[in-house]
Amino acid sequence: MKIVLCLVMFFLFINGFATAQNLIQDSCKKAAASNPKIKLDFCVKTLEGNPQSKTAKSLVDLVMASTKDVATKTTSLEATADKILKEKKFAKDSEMPLRDCLELYTDATASLNEAMASVKSRNYKTAKVGMSAAMDAPSTCETGFKERKTPQKSPFTKDNDVLSQTLSVTLALTTMLK
């Protein structure tokens, strides 16, 4: 009897995993088709690398997992910017763009948290507004370093590229919610 119960549980687990994999694949195909900036491989890799996405049973679950992931990324960048400023390990002309990036990441995190609350309450239009607001943070941060009298190298370029792509995926997924 125990063996039968274990086999049933195993097959249910495998079926749930396969369902999440299909959901990720299908959702990423639709997201990539809706936005030429979204790369299918990046979308799949990002979502499959997220433990919460792997157990998603619906598009709403996938959006929540992706939004939490991107909010974690903005929080991490916020902490990095704050640390750089506190340690004063930056070129003199970089202080202002660092402060701007810190504020942008803080605002993006708040917008993403509001977007998650909106998704939970099924207010998808408001969720899209919050995610769209967060979309500006990476590029605006980068622009702040480039537009100095003496252009500076941003310490966030690689992370901002990933953040921008992940935000695009999250927004595209949210747009699919009805």
Four-CA torsion 47, 52, 53, 56, nearest 10 degrees: 180
**Using N-to-C axis directions, what is the helix angle for 157-176 and 124-146, rounded to 10°?**
160
Residues 6+ apart with CB under 8 A from 126: 114, 115, 118
CA pair distance 47, 99, nearest whole angstrom: 31
Give the pLDDT of the chain (178 residues) as one tens digit per residue: 555 443 334 444 444 444 557 999 999 999 999 999 999 999 999 999 999 999 999 999 999 999 999 999 999 999 999 999 999 888 888 999 999 999 999 999 999 999 999 999 999 999 999 999 999 999 999 999 999 888 889 999 999 999 999 999 999 999 999 8
Token pair of 144, please? 């702040």
pLDDT for res 17: 42
- Provide the whole-model pTM: 0.85
pLDDT of residue 59: 96
Q: Which residues contact 1 (CB under 8 A, 6 or more apart)?
A: none
